[in-house]
Amino acid sequence: MIDLRSDTLTQPTPTMRQAMANAKVGDDVFEEDPTLKKLEALAAKKTGKESALFVPSGTMGNLISVLSHCQRGDEVLLGDRSHIFLHEVGGMSALGGVHPRTLPNNEDGTLPLPLVEQSIRKLDIHYPLTRLICLENTHNHCQGSPLSPEYMASMAALAEKHGLKIHLDGARLFNAAVALDIEVEALTRHADSVMFCLSKGLSAPVGSLVCGDRNFIQRARKNRKMVGGGMRQAGHLAAAGLIALENMVERLKDDHLHAGLLAEKLASIDGIELDQTQVKTNIIFFKLNHPKIDGDTFLTLLEERSIKILMVDPGVFRAVLHREVSREQVQTVAQTIHSILIEQYK
C-alpha cells in the first residue's frame, strides 16, 4: 500500500524503536524523567524559548496553549481554514469558554494584517476581550504553505502594538524551516508560544511540544494535567522524539521534492486541477474534474490499486508525502492516476 493520507502514518524507525526500549525513564508528573527533560530542553533550544513541555498530541498542545493564554470569555483571532478551528473539536470553546473569531485565510495561509487589526475589539461593555492571534505554519489547508519570517514579524509587531499574544500552530514547523531554508528560530521568535509535532514527517510515533517562556510553560503544565495529559514514564516516547529532532529534519527536503514531482505529474493529467506553483512543502491538494468518475469511485479505484489518499471535500483530495513514500512510488502513483483517468475511463 502507498499511503498518502497523512505524514502521521510514518512508522518509527528501527533506531527509534531501540532508543525507546532502552530509554532511562522516571515519573514525569514528578518531573523526574531524564529523557523527557532532555527532549524538552532540546525543543526549547531549537525554538529559542525558555522552556518546553511534551504533550501527547498537537491538538492537546494547541488547546493547552490557548487555555494558558486566555481566560473564559476572551476572544481568539484565527483563520477560517486553520486546523485549530476546523479539526480540533471546538476544544477552546467546549473546554475553555474561549471565543474563536475566524477571519478568511489568504490562499497562502496568511491572515490579512489590516483585517486582523480591524478585528481587534475596542474596550466596550458589549465585547469580549481580544487576547490572542493563532497562526499556522506550514498551513495545512492552504496547500501546506510556509509563512515567511517577514510575515510573522509584521504580525508580531501588530500584536505587540495592541497587547495581544501570538500562538503558532507549528505542527509542521520544521517543514516550513526546511522549505524556506532558515532556522526554526527565525519563525518562532515572532510567536509567544509554539506547538510543533514530532509525529508527522519527523516520524516519531507520538508527541508534540509546546514552547514558550517559563511562566507560560508553568501554566501549560497545569493545564496539561487538567485535561489528563500528565504522563508517567513518557521518556520512552521522548527517546524517539530526540531522534526525530536530531536526525529527521534534513530529510524533510526529500518529501518536498517528492511533492513537487507528484504535483508536476498530476498537473499534466486531464481531469485533474492542480496549481503546482502552490506546492511548497509536502502537501498537495487537487480537484477531480472527470466526466465519468466521481470522488468516491476515484478513491475506490485507487485503493484497488493499493494507493490511499484523502478526500477532504467532495471531489477535492489531499496527498501528503512522507518518509515511507519513495520517488519510485511517486512515479507509480502518477502513472496509476493517469491510467485510471485517461486510459480506462476515456
Shortest CA distance to 236 belongs to which of 67, 52, 85, 36?
A: 36
Between residue 206 and residue 245, which ones bind ligand TLP under the rule CB under 6 A? 208
Please give the grid coordinates belonging to residue 201.
514527517
Residue 284: in which H helix or E strand, if any? strand 283-288
The region of 55-63, 104-112, 229-237, 286-294 touching ligand TLP under the rule CB under 6 A is: 55-63
Please give the grid coordinates belonging to residue 240.
524517539
Question: Count of CB atoms within 10 A of residue 198's CB?
Answer: 27
| 64 near ligand TLP (CB under 6 A) | no
Q: Cβ distance 62 to 53 under 8 Å?
A: no
The region of 17-25, 57-65, 216-224, 232-240 touching ligand TLP under the rule CB under 6 A is: 57-65
User: Which of 140, 145, 281, 282 touches ligand TLP by CB under 6 A?
Assistant: 140
Give the separation between CA 172 and CA 175, rounded to whole angstroms.
5
Distance of closest approach, residue 152 Cβ to ligand TLP, in angstroms: 16
The region of 36-44, 52-60, 158-166, 287-295 touching ligand TLP under the rule CB under 6 A is: 52-60
With contacts defined by CB under 6 A, how many residues of the chain interact with ligand TLP? Answer: 14
| 83 near ligand TLP (CB under 6 A) | yes
Q: What is the DSSP string of 218-262?
A: HHHHHHHHHTT---SSTHHHHHHHHHHHHHSSTTHHHHHHHHHHH
| 6 near ligand TLP (CB under 6 A) | yes
Between residue 152 and residue 181, which ones bind ligand TLP under the rule CB under 6 A? 169, 171
Chain residues that interact with ligand TLP, rule: CB under 6 A: 6, 8, 57-59, 83, 87, 136, 140, 169, 171, 197, 199, 208
